[in-house]
Amino acid sequence: MKTKNSTLIFIILLIPYSIYSQNTETEKNLKKVNTDTIVGWKTGIVSGINLAQTALVNWSAGGESSISFNGLVSAFASYKDTTSEWNTTLDIGYGLLQQGVKGQFIKTDDRFDFLTKYGVKAFSDFNYAGLINFKTQFSPGYNYPNDSVKISNFFAPAYLLAAIGLNYVPTIYFDAFVAPITGKMTFVNDDALSAIGAYGVTPGKKLKGEFGGYARISYTRSDFKGEFLKNVAFTSKLDLFSNYLKDPQNIVFNWENLIGMKVNKYISVNINTHLMYDANIKFNGEKAKLQFKEILGLGFFLKL
């Protein structure tokens, strides 16, 4: 039905859900960091959905209709006894944005990150440990605004890393894993991207193997004592990899930070940043660049 000289604005701002599932020992409003030494399993999951939509019809001030979606799932499972511990995490994120009524959907987030680490008591605060990490994405990515140039795809790239080393865990908040023996495989399972040697593979090949050293340092805390910080959860993860066989000075660098804050019983805020550098990822076929991503979320909070 035609409508003349009418104005319609319908805004849905951030329809979010954050579901925190904890073991029956203890629960907190934000993702729990356990402070006990009880043996056995501990599990948890955090999920969030943000949806923002604006519709404009004959709006004199101008502007464009838009809709955006961003979802995440972060799950963990850990087992601990007197001589060993096993920690597994899974992080999945996906986001889309459409600008304009006839505009196409553009990705704003796309990741799948699975990590598992098993350690056996060595001495003091150290464990002998092995780690496996797998990363990929779900759908094609393009060199926007040029949507005819595909720069990524499902399993292009994908990374599989296996490492053996020493794990230092002096407190429940801090974890440092150093592995002098590390194998890394990069997959580019896309014919077009493989043909141009994307992500460091030999042109025409779909797999690249590397051998080197790896380090992973993390700090997680949600039990701050100060009045201002008591409802804040903070996680920081730094990953470093050096290929012994070629250009070991070109260290692959990944640093992620997540800050979550519960404002009141129903409202929460979270900020996620990701800084990375990989000399194998060339932009416009020329050179590698420092990459940065930031996601800010504001929404209602629901705990089940």
What DSSP state is assigned to residue 140?
Answer: -
In a domain, 11, yes or no: no
Amino acid letter, 79: Y
In a domain, 58, yes or no: no
Tell me what pLDDT residue 285 has: 66
How many C-beta neighbours within 10 Å does residue 72 have?
A: 22
**Domain membership of residue 247 as a residue range:** 39-44+76-92+110-300
Q: What are 78's two structure tokens?
A: 């850990």
Residues contacting 188, CB < 8 A, separation 6+: 156, 157, 194, 198, 199, 201, 205, 206, 207, 208
Tell me what pLDDT residue 299 has: 64
> How far from 1 is each of 4, 6, 65, 198, CA to CA, in Å?
10, 12, 19, 49
Determine the Cα–Cα distance for residues 94 and 205; give it in Å rounded to an integer: 28
In a domain, 296, yes or no: yes
In a domain, 34, yes or no: no
Instruction: For residue 69, give the nearest of 95, 102, 107, 108 by alpha carbon.
Output: 95
Strands 8-12 and 267-277: unpaired
**Residue ranges in the chain modelled with pLDDT below 70:** 1-38, 101, 285, 298-304
Tell me what pLDDT residue 272 has: 84
Q: 117 pairs with which residues across the strands?
A: 87, 131
In a domain, 54, yes or no: no
In a domain, 62, yes or no: no
Residues 236, 257: contact at Cβ < 8 Å?
yes
| Cα end-to-end span (Å), the chain | 43
Tell me what pLDDT residue 300 has: 57
Tell me what pLDDT residue 189 has: 95
Chain-centre distance for alpha carbon 15: 21
Tell me what pLDDT residue 269 has: 79
Strands 126-136 and 158-168: antiparallel
Tell me what pLDDT residue 92 has: 92
Tell me what pLDDT residue 22 has: 32
Which value, to the nearest 10 degrees, does the dihedral of the CA atoms of residues 28, 32, 38, 39 take? 140
Tell me what pLDDT residue 14 has: 34
Instruction: For residue 113, give the nearest of 88, 135, 139 by alpha carbon.
Output: 135
In a domain, 272, yes or no: yes
Tell me what pLDDT residue 283 has: 83
pTM for the whole thing? 0.79
What DSSP state is assigned to residue 19?
Answer: -
Overall number of domains in the chain? 1
Q: What is the CATH number of the domain that holds 80?
A: 2.40.160
In a domain, 255, yes or no: yes
